Structure 1
Amino acid sequence: MSTPRIVATEFGGPDAAPLLLLGPSLGTSATTLWSRAAAELTDTWRVVGWDLPGHGRGETSDAFTLAELAAGVLALADQFTRESFHYAGDSVGGCVGLQLMLDAPHRVASATLLCTGAVIGTPDAWTERAETVRASGTETLIAAATQRWFPSGFAERDSVTSSALLDALRSADSGSYAQVCEALGGFDVTDRLQEISTPVLAVAGSHDIATPPDHLQRIASGVKDGRLVVLENVGHLAPAEAPDRVAQLITEHARAASAPIPATTDEVHAGGLAVRREVLGDAHVDRAIAATTEFTADFQRFITEYAWGAIWTRPGLDRRSRSLITLTALVARGHHEELRIHLLAARRNGLSNDEIKELLMQTAIYCGVPDANTAFRIAADVLPGFDSEGERS
């Protein structure tokens, strides 16, 4: 056994920005799995992906354990920073994240673990797959991978992404693939999860066969500071299937984990104002500030501090969830002016028009048909004008 040399794929970002490492799933490469999500992350982070031995740009290696693979990833991080870094990994990349937090907890500032587990499969199953691949190559796995990786219909809906991922599997070195299988067969940190104190966001795909949501719930419940998000209609390769949503979750989680605890009300206000701008848009907030009078100034400060600085900044729910809750409350209470504002905020927070429609359908049952009727009328006026910048066109 030996520590493999891990090869980086640099996606970009400011050199002075915090480092974000992205880990792959077995049979994929950093490029095929993470490119679209990485494009959304480089404004905030210096984004670097890494490839498994014999996958993508990865070099072949002697046999290794998961702990040795994690040591290789840590050595790669050292090439970019000697400080702490943020980490996100899918499947075996998530396992590496767990190992990093056990072996070098002071180096990992936050971890987003996607479609993974504290243990995946059984040693016998991994040994069998390794033997199959050594004997017949990775081509023999294509049909099974299509079923195991993607939810029904995804390959037809996004043939470019699915084909690129399957091509990466075909191109993977068979011996290296088998080595990763054997490393996974020896990996089980279920009994050590309670040792992990790094903030962990566990992200599951609702249609993931290989690592279903209960695997991620076990991680979120087992670590000291964990939270679970389940992505609907997503399978095993969440960064490729839902890149915008995954990028948003990583950024929100990493920011929350690294944000200092406000010491003064001025700091709470400043943090609240930043979140208010991100959710409602600069144009709306600038109008509100410009319209502030001596009479309304205290109230404006109050809502910025308490609504945005104390509630919307809490890590227990992501912004999509907070938007869903807020829209429901506004419909129920008949706050139509605020509803218009928060419909646009919900789009900025990642909700689609179809998801908003379903929420309004739900309010028709639990809040009342007249309230939902008015809400649909307002949404029909507001949502068609939402452009890519998050403002009215």
Structure 2
Amino acid sequence: MTLELRGTGFAVRDASRPLLVLGPSLGTSAAALWADVVPLLAAEADLLGWDLPGHGASPAPAGPSTTVEEIADAVLGLIDDAQAERGDPGAPVWYAGDSAGGAVGLQLLLDAPDRFAGAALISTGARIGTPEGWEERAALVEQAGTPTQVIGSTERWFAPGFVEREPQVVTRLLASLQTADRHGYAAVCRALAAFDVRTRLGEIATPLVAVAGSDDRPTPVSSLAAIAAGARRARLRVLEGVAHLPPAEDPEAVAAILRELLAGRLGASDPERAAAGFAVRREVLGDAHVDRAIGATSATTAEFQDLITRYAWGEIWTRPGIDRRMRSAVTLTALVAGGHWAELEMHLRAALRNGLSPAEIREILLQTAIYCSVPSANHAFGIADRVLGEDGEAAR
């Protein structure tokens, strides 16, 4: 049976303006979540919100479960209707979604990439939570209703101090949670339990910005960093002092990001440079190292990770002037000269991956004894002895 969703045309006029589609988080309606962003953008874009099954204006699903794919397909139907009204059927639109709405956004970019000019994926993930956690929550809500989620959602949704500062916003969002249909809420939980597109992020070529809240627990900064790392043309933005619902917690910052998205000012070169940088970084350092770095990304380190990916790896290591063997030789020398021993260990392994032999690495380190100092070379040889000895073949 086809899933029925309903939309909220905040400002839908004609094809002279870009169409931005706004997706909600689980337990909220588009109207409740995006209420403070809409007035900031209504003068420059047509805005179309949509509601999850059993939330806001959307009826509950006919059965006990649905899928993110089914929700995404229903959202495309709403977009088709809005574009027929605007007079631009099939033209690319923009998308922004929070949490479950962001997961639907990922699915849309995978299923219908030609329909989207750009996207902002907010407080979400290629996988969110665990299947067991979602199934357990679905069973509880189905039996006892959405009011059971008020305390937990308040803790998950808002950064410390927000409840006291903005009680009206909190009341608006919690009201949307308490009035959500329990069967619809449970069905979305089951959809998220089955949702996992981590291995497909590399298929996404649409320009996107992954927006994280520094205090978000359900989808921490590392979750958005993984999207930015995996998609081909993506940037990561971190909002300080914000948790799981940035459109409600910091509408001005979200509106500013969306203006940049609509105007193309996120920069085509930066996402492309980041994509190239991640590719080279993986080839040189290995998937395991890069995956650990992404997984450890925090609000403190996110911008730095983005910087080194775009410029160190995307700008310098991708240059054609010298090959990677030479770049590794130069890098090893510079790290010995600077006494950057942790980085030296990492780049010794990278040098092997780039084709330098153990004998060549020894010669490079001998050269540093003359030009960097014998004590520095002595320390470097100790590290190299350990690294080269990890692989019997490399040590011979």
Q: Normalising by structure 2, what TM-score?
A: 0.64
2:106 paired with 1:107: no
Counterpart secondary structure, 2:117: strand
Q: Deviations over 1:227-264 (max 9, x none)?
A: 00000000100001111110110110221179999xxx
In the alignment, which residue of structure 2 is the partner of 1:92? Answer: 100
Q: How does 1:97-136 map to 2 (within 5 A)?
A: 97-136=105-144
2:211 paired with 1:203: yes
Cα distance in 2 between the residues matched to 1:41 and 1:56: 21
Deviates further, 41-50 or 174-183: 41-50
2:67 paired with 1:65: yes
Where in structure 1 are there 5+ consecutive unaligned residues? 262-316, 322-393
Letter in 1 for 2:195: F
- CA contact 1:138–1:170 (8 Å) conserved in 2: yes
In the alignment, which residue of structure 2 is the partner of 1:189? Answer: 197
Counterpart secondary structure, 1:188: coil
Cα distance in 1 between the residues matched to 2:194 and 2:262: 30
- CA contact 2:12–2:82 (8 Å) conserved in 1: no
Indicate the RMSD between aligned Cα atoms, in angstroms.
1.8
Cα distance in 2 between the residues matched to 1:188 and 1:124: 14
Where in structure 2 are there 5+ consecutive unaligned residues? 84-89, 270-302, 308-396
- CA contact 1:122–1:185 (8 Å) conserved in 2: yes
Q: Normalising by structure 1, what TM-score?
A: 0.65
In 2 relative to 1, CA 14–187 (structure 1 residues): closer, same or farther, beyond 3 Å? Answer: same
In the alignment, which residue of structure 1 is the partner of 2:172? Answer: 164
Counterpart secondary structure, 1:140: helix
In the alignment, which residue of structure 1 is the partner of 2:148? Answer: 140
In 2 relative to 1, CA 260–232 (structure 1 residues): closer, same or farther, beyond 3 Å? Answer: closer
- CA contact 2:260–2:266 (8 Å) conserved in 1: no
Q: How does 1:184-333 map to 2 (within 5 A)?
A: 184-256=192-264
Cα distance in 1 between the residues matched to 2:268 and 2:130: 41
Letter in 2 for 1:5: E
Letter in 2 for 1:76: L
Task: After the TM superposition, list the runs of 4 or more consecutive aligned residues in structure 1 that deviate by more than 6 angstroms.
Answer: 257-261
- CA contact 1:13–1:43 (8 Å) conserved in 2: no
Counterpart secondary structure, 1:109: strand
Q: Deviations over 1:151-205 (max 9, x none)?
A: 1111110000001101110000001000000000000000000000000100000
Cα distance in 2 between the residues matched to 1:258 and 1:45: 17
Counterpart secondary structure, 1:79: helix
- CA contact 2:24–2:101 (8 Å) conserved in 1: yes
- CA contact 1:26–1:177 (8 Å) conserved in 2: yes
Cα distance in 1 between the residues matched to 2:57 and 2:173: 14
Cα distance in 2 between the residues matched to 1:260 and 1:115: 23
1:135 Cα shift? 1.1
Q: Deviations over 1:239-293 (max 9, x none)?
A: 01111110110110221179999xxxxxxxxxxxxxxxxxxxxxxxxxxxxxxxx
1:14 Cα shift? 4.1
In the alignment, which residue of structure 2 is the partner of 1:21? Answer: 21
Q: Deviations over 1:112-140 (max 9, x none)?
A: 00000000001110000000001111111
